Amino acid sequence: MAETTAETIERVGLVPVLRARSVRQAHAVVRAMLAGGVTIVEVTMTVPGAVDLLKELKREYGSDLLLGSGTVTTADEVAATIDAGAEFVVSPSFHPEVVAHTRALGKLSIPGALTPTEVIAAWRAGADYVKIFPCSAMGGASYLKALLAPFPFLKLIPTGGVTLQTAEGFFRNGARALGVGGDLVDLAAVDAGHPETITETAHAYLDLLAKVRSETHGNG
């Protein structure tokens, strides 16, 4: 039986945020991440021709790549990106109509929120996960832990300031997955002709997650 979108996100543990400046750059990043074992990418609406890029990636990689759309703030963007192949929809902020439309189209909703009030409002509106953004600005892993103390049932994806150095703390403090930007999606490496840097970083993240999981499950 095929994995659900949620199962894939939690198994891989990373949602790489692609803010490429061109289609060529985007393809190079995706190829390098896939080579490193990361099979998820979130294409933000800030990428030139984002909807067309989603269609191209869907055509090229099919079920080998789980596609999501990011920086989505309107119901029209939800419809366009899901039609183009997005299986999950991410926002930096909470828009009830975006959550509702994503769920109505049968896809996974990940709105952004920061304060306890915003987070619980997003969850009650039907979010599958809540993206805590910008998490590092609020203290990183310790903030995640503080949010989960009164709301242990929340499924949180911290984003903003996630690096190989901070990732372990986030996972140990309850993150279901991590939204990763420039630390993994290294556009400069691609421009310099070194996409293997991204592949190596992808491997490092997955190795780290495997280590944390084995230790956590070992203790439990």
Q: Does residue 140 fall inside a structural domain?
A: yes
Of residues 7, 131, 168, 211, which has the active-site annotation?
Answer: 131
157 pairs with which residues across the strands? Answer: 131
42 carries an active-site annotation: yes
178 pairs with which residues across the strands? Answer: 14
Q: Which two tokens stand for residue 219?
A: 């203790």
Q: What is the pLDDT of residue 2?
A: 77
pTM over 0.75: yes
C-alpha 171/C-alpha 40 separation (Å) is 18
Q: Does residue 4 fall inside a structural domain?
A: no
The answer to whether residue 3 scores a pLDDT higher than 70 is yes
Q: Does residue 64 fall inside a structural domain?
A: yes
pLDDT tier at 216, thresholds 50, 70, 90: confident
pLDDT digits (tens, 9 = 90+) for 73-83: 999 999 999 99
pLDDT digits (tens, 9 = 90+) for 54-74: 999 999 999 999 999 999 999
Q: Does residue 1 fall inside a structural domain?
A: no
Residue whose pair of structure tokens reads 């509106």 in the numeric block: 125
Q: What is the pLDDT of residue 205?
A: 98
Q: Does residue 177 fall inside a structural domain?
A: yes
Show the domain range for 78: 12-219
Residues 42 and 110: beta-carbon distance below 8 Å: no
Q: Does residue 7 fall inside a structural domain?
A: no
Domain with residue 64: its CATH number is 3.20.20.70
Count of domains in the chain?
1
> What's the average model confidence in pLDDT over 197-214?
97
Q: Does residue 6 fall inside a structural domain?
A: no
211 carries an active-site annotation: no
Q: What is the pLDDT of residue 173?
A: 96
